[in-house]
């Protein structure tokens, strides 16, 4: 038999009843008076007591428990307003711990109980991670750049689709055995790590080619498994992914499954912006990530290709706009929102010939560092070489600069 603590108005009746019960029940009552919320009498055959009832407005983090409709549930990760009875499948946020009896009627008090705690953000120690493209733009040897700059992590471009919903570097070379896999081996041999970037502006992408979130998650999982990754970057751009609402939702659904299958993985989503913050599609992406219950770790904007202007002010304005949008959607504080954000710039001349000098990039880095942004990166290491008046090309920045200067600045983040 399971007993639960009654309200003070019932205390006198409880004591009178306890006097007439068996010795074991009296013992349970004594324990109860000491503040225990439930006692199961030894030898009784009964379900575990129900813990505090689930509340749609409460925030639960991994390990918190709640009861709902006669069952106890345990949260696997951060959750809010996700019904345990409906979200307790193999890959869902709640674990059904079986039937319970009694209890569960009090005010929900998950442990810990803050109501404004955001899902865990951060970059898993990989905040400074400039892009490198092994298949283009005279890629430098990883050890050369790492030894010269102190950088430890690269974001590697790009995983695309091959023959339908199959991930492949550049959409053509598979995942292993090609130049990208060799580059990854070289990075690891030099003591570094990589974050794969899936998507990009052009090419045949996985988002449109994988018909369901489950299929897309399977493609992402192949990339994770192939290299034992701890973070992935989904570079969602252009009209086929970023501006396609069905594909946006599919990508978010896939990331939710990936997070469920890979506890602790860092999920990054990278997208374009205006000088004042997210565009319509950026705002939609953020709102839908909340609606679908997808705890994205880092929302990263690409603050360039505005057509001109002061790139420091444009980057700050775009980042402040993203911060405001995250606060609006999630109710986070300014500081918490920054911890879920990233900046992905373009060194030297951008596609639209906007100018970001090493001095400007240093100012941007220091501004971001002061606010503890979770990610700081640029496109790309291939271009991190000087070529004054060289234009917008794949293997240098188009400006006068020292070799690997932007990477060195980034490594100081």
What per-residue confidence (pLDDT) applies to 93?
Answer: 65
Under 8 Å between Cβ of 101 and 268: no
What per-residue confidence (pLDDT) applies to 394?
Answer: 96
pLDDT, tens digit (0-9, with 9 covering 90-100), for 327-378: 999 999 999 999 999 999 999 999 999 999 999 999 999 999 999 999 999 9
Percent of the chain with pLDDT over 70: 80
- Indicate the pLDDT class of residue 78, thresholds 50, 70 and 90: low
pLDDT, tens digit (0-9, with 9 covering 90-100), for 298-317: 999 999 999 999 999 999 99
Under 8 Å between Cβ of 349 and 391: yes
- The two structure tokens encoding residue 266: 């860092």
Active-site residue, selected from the candidate residues 48, 237, 243, 403: 237
- Indicate the pLDDT class of residue 5, thresholds 50, 70 and 90: very low
Burial pattern 399-413, b for ≥16 Cβ within 10 A else e, equals bebeebbbbbbbbeb
* pTM metric for this prediction: 0.72
> What length does the chain have?
413
pLDDT, tens digit (0-9, with 9 covering 90-100), for 16-37: 333 334 344 333 443 344 444 3
Is the pLDDT confidence value at 9 over 70? no
Average pLDDT score over residue span 393-411:
98
What per-residue confidence (pLDDT) applies to 6?
Answer: 33
Cα 204 from Cα 199, distance rounded (Å): 8
Is the pLDDT confidence value at 83 over 90? no
pLDDT, tens digit (0-9, with 9 covering 90-100), for 99-110: 998 655 444 444
CA-derived radius of gyration, the chain: 26
| Alpha-carbon distance values, 327 to 13, 40, 235 (Å) | 50, 45, 22
Look up 172 and say whether it is catalytic: no
- Domains within the chain, CATH numbers bracketed: 2-103 (2.10.10.20), 131-411 (3.20.20.80)
- The two structure tokens encoding residue 59: 């925030």
């Amino acid at each position: 038999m399971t007993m639960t603590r009654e309200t003070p108005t019932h205390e006198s009746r409880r004591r009178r009843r306890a006097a007439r019960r068996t010795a074991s029940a009296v013992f349970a009552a004594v324990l109860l008076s000491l503040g225990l919320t439930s006692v199961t009498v030894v030898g009784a055959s009964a379900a575990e007591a129900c813990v505090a009832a689930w509340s749609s407005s409460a925030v639960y983090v991994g390990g918190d428990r709640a009861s709902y409709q006669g069952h106890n549930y345990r949260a696997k990760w951060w959750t809010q307003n996700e019904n345990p009875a409906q979200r307790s499948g193999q890959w869902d946020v709640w674990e059904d711990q079986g039937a319970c009896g009694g209890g569960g009627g009090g005010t929900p008090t998950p442990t810990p109980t803050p109501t404004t705690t955001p899902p865990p953000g951060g970059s898993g120690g990989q905040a400074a991670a400039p892009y490198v493209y092994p298949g283009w733009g005279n890629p430098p040897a990883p050890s050369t750049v790492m030894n010269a700059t102190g950088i430890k992590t690269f974001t590697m471009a790009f995983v695309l689709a091959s023959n339908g919903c199959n991930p492949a570097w550049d959409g053509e070379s598979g995942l292993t055995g090609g130049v990208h896999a060799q580059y990854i081996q070289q990075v690891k041999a030099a003591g570094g790590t990589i974050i794969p970037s899936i998507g990009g502006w052009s090419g045949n992408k996985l988002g449109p080619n994988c018909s369901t979130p489950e299929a897309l998650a399977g493609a992402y999982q192949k990339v994770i498994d192939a290299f034992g990754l701890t973070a992935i970057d989904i570079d969602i751009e252009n009209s086929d992914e970023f501006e396609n609402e069905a594909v946006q939702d599919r990508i978010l659904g896939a990331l939710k499954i990936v997070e469920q299958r890979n506890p602790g993985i860092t999920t990054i989503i990278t997208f374009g912006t205006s000088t004042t913050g997210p565009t319509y599609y950026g705002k939609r992406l953020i709102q839908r990530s909340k609606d679908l219950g997808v705890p994205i770790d880092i929302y990263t904007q690409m603050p360039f290709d505005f057509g001109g202007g002061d790139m420091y002010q444009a980057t700050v304005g775009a980042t402040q706009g993203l911060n405001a949008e995250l606060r609006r959607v999630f109710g986070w504080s300014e500081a918490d929102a920054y911890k879920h954000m990233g900046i992905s710039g373009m060194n030297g001349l951008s596609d639209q010939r906007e100018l970001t000098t090493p001095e400007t990039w240093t100012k941007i880095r220091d501004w971001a560092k002061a606010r503890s942004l979770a990610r700081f990166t640029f496109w790309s290491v291939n271009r991190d070489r000087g070529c004054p008046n060289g234009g917008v090309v794949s293997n240098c920045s188009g400006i006068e600069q020292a070799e690997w200067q932007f990477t060195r600045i980034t490594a100081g983040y």
